[in-house]
Amino acid sequence: MVGVSLSTLAGLLVWQSFSALLEGPFFRIENFDKWFDSDVFRVISSMLSTETKGSRSNLHPVLPILSYVLTALVNFVIRDPVVAIQSLMSFNAFFATMLLWRLLNWLRLDLADIFLCLSLFIASASFVFWFPIAESFPIGATSMLLSLQLLTLSPAREARSLLLDVLLCSASLAITISNWIVGLTAIALRCDFHKRIFSLLKTSPRDYLQRNREALYYPIKVILLSGLAVSILSIIQDFAFEHSVSFLRVDQWDQLIKETYFIDFRGIIHLATRIIELILNPMVVGEIVSHSYLTSFDQSGWVFDEVFSPKWGPAYDMQILSVNGLSIKSMSQFIGVSTWLLLLAISAKNILQAPRLNPIIWTSIITLASFFALHALYGHHLFLYSAHFVFFYIIISSTAFQCKRKWIPRTLMFLLILSGGYHNYTSFELANTILLEISGSPM
């Protein structure tokens, strides 16, 4: 009942927040890029049409296929495309909360601790700002949470087990390629692949393979088949979507290099600031502000970054929402940030002292470490990626309850839920208000 009740609450909150955004000109094409530099309009367009111009949402092989098919099915019943999209985002929040409940239950937390962890997710900045938005980030977060279910599967028949492992391993890859670290780590830990590799290095390869061939080859088989499945979907996507850009294209690495150039001249201080924001913003958002950016329109009306301005012609001064992760402007924000850092410190202490960690915890740690390494250098706006961090933070912070004095982490998490949640929801209202104000500015 705890899982179902809080999952339903999450879905209803997303529905309400989506409705609040609909009151303004949120879905007008000239305003789509204002919600923290996201690509809301492009994602919505790919959910409603296979002729979407622009490639960002089509880079992910399953996202356009899955979202387009599901939207079409819901729209067939409801006959309202906006409500269809609203329904899908609400279901995504419900489904993600249920998946998180299953993992926390598998970690054998007390019922009160599970309730607090699920409530923390609903109060987090990632949930408040991204799960009501038709974007790839909340869906990508759910797909990674789905891959973590690999570590909860019970033994089954070989064919059924292989099919489930392939589907779950490929879930994180299906939305964006960098997220596949979750599926790869989960299947490796579930099959003790790392231990078998170490054993192989210590003994004769021929003798070891004769005794452990199947156990060693199985995770490799799962990885290859999951990669093949997503590659096939990517090929289908290229045929189905007119302007699709395959995630398998080698030339896409040029874009990755372009998005890291700004680190070169901003130095160590900016790098340290990014890391602090990666720790704070997924849980307690900073100050919501509005910034002006030099942008330009191409003939179809899409807004592009200043990098492309010379290519597309006339430039405009456009305001978008942004987040300052280091500002402390209110008592609720101060308490939220303080309690969050204390919770992380207690969790780190318990993790270091634990004789043995659950593979779910290990996968979360490895995933967070890889994301820190990636996003310390990649991506202009860190708040875009906060939804990819939140579930792993919550799973890791749940280790704070592995102590004798549970009242301490419970009190801290309760304070974080109240103070951080209050700050995040009021900041969401402020962001929506600012969006309404700047949407009427001349383009």
List, for residues 99-155, the tens digit of each pLDDT value: 999 999 999 999 999 999 999 999 999 999 999 988 888 998 999 999 999 998 876
- Mapping DSSP to helix (H, G, I), strand (E, B) and coil, where does residue 317 land? strand
Confidence of residue 310 (pLDDT cuts 50, 70, 90): very low
Encoding tokens for residue 127? 């949930």
Q: Are 309 and 315 in contact (CB under 8 A)?
A: yes
List, for residues 177-189, the tens digit of each pLDDT value: 888 899 999 998 8
Residues present in the chain in total = 443
Q: Are 115 and 6 in contact (CB under 8 A)?
A: yes
- Mapping DSSP to helix (H, G, I), strand (E, B) and coil, where does residue 135 land? coil
Query: Does any domain span residue 443?
Result: no
Q: Are 382 and 309 in contact (CB under 8 A)?
A: no
Query: Does any domain span residue 163?
Result: yes
Beta strands of 190-314 (E only): which ranges? 287-297, 303-304
Residue 21 has pLDDT above 60, yes or no: yes
Closest by Cα among 59, 43, 53 to 230: 59
Strands 287-297 and 303-304: antiparallel
Q: Which of 55-64, 203-212, 269-278, 328-337 has the highest mean pLDDT?
A: 328-337
Encoding tokens for residue 189? 């830990």
- Average pLDDT in the 2-25 region? 85
pLDDT at 160: 78
C-alpha neighbours within 13 Å on the C-beta side of residue 429: 5
Task: State what percent of residues in the chain have pLDDT above 90.
Answer: 33
Angle at 160 between CA 156 and CA 162, to 5 degrees: 100
- Average pLDDT in the 284-294 region? 79
Query: Does any domain span residue 228?
Result: yes
Residue 304 CB partners (closer than 8 Å, separation 6+): 295, 296, 297, 298, 312
Q: Between 348 and 196, where is the model more confident?
A: 348
Beta strands of 261-407 (E only): which ranges? 287-297, 303-304, 315-324
Query: Does any domain span residue 378?
Result: yes
Helices and strands (DSSP H and E) totals, the chain:
18, 3
**Torsions phi, psi for 324 (to 5 deg):** -100, 110
pLDDT at 71: 84
Least confident stretch, 266-280, 287-301, 393-407: 287-301
pLDDT at 315: 54
Q: Which of 220-224, 275-279, 365-369, 433-437 has the highest mean pLDDT?
A: 365-369
Q: Are 159 and 371 in contact (CB under 8 A)?
A: no
End-to-end CA distance of the chain: 50
Query: Does any domain span residue 65?
Result: yes
Query: Does any domain span residue 212?
Result: yes
Confidence of residue 398 (pLDDT cuts 50, 70, 90): very high
Q: Are 258 and 305 in contact (CB under 8 A)?
A: no
Least confident stretch, 35-44, 150-159, 193-202: 193-202
Residue 327 has pLDDT above 80, yes or no: no
Q: How many domains does the chain have?
A: 1
Mean pLDDT, the chain, as a whole number? 80
Closest by Cα among 51, 82, 46 to 66: 46
Query: Does any domain span residue 283?
Result: yes
Range of the domain at 409: 2-438
Q: Give the CA distances from residue 152 to residues 100, 147, 223, 390, in Å, rounded to whole numbers and listed in that order.
A: 12, 10, 18, 20
Confidence of residue 345 (pLDDT cuts 50, 70, 90): very high
Q: Between 276 and 294, where is the model more confident?
A: 276
Confidence of residue 303 (pLDDT cuts 50, 70, 90): very low
List, for residues 50-76, the tens digit of each pLDDT value: 776 555 555 566 777 888 888 888 888
pLDDT at 364: 94
Q: Between 250 and 9, where is the model more confident?
A: 9
Q: Is the dihedral of CA 51, 53, 59, 60 positive or negative?
A: negative
Residue 299 has pLDDT above 50, yes or no: no
Residue 305 has pLDDT above 60, yes or no: no
pLDDT at 26: 59
pLDDT at 122: 96
Least confident stretch, 2-11, 209-218, 304-313, 359-368: 304-313
pLDDT at 307: 33
Q: Between 55 and 390, where is the model more confident?
A: 390
Query: Does any domain span residue 349?
Result: yes
pLDDT at 443: 40
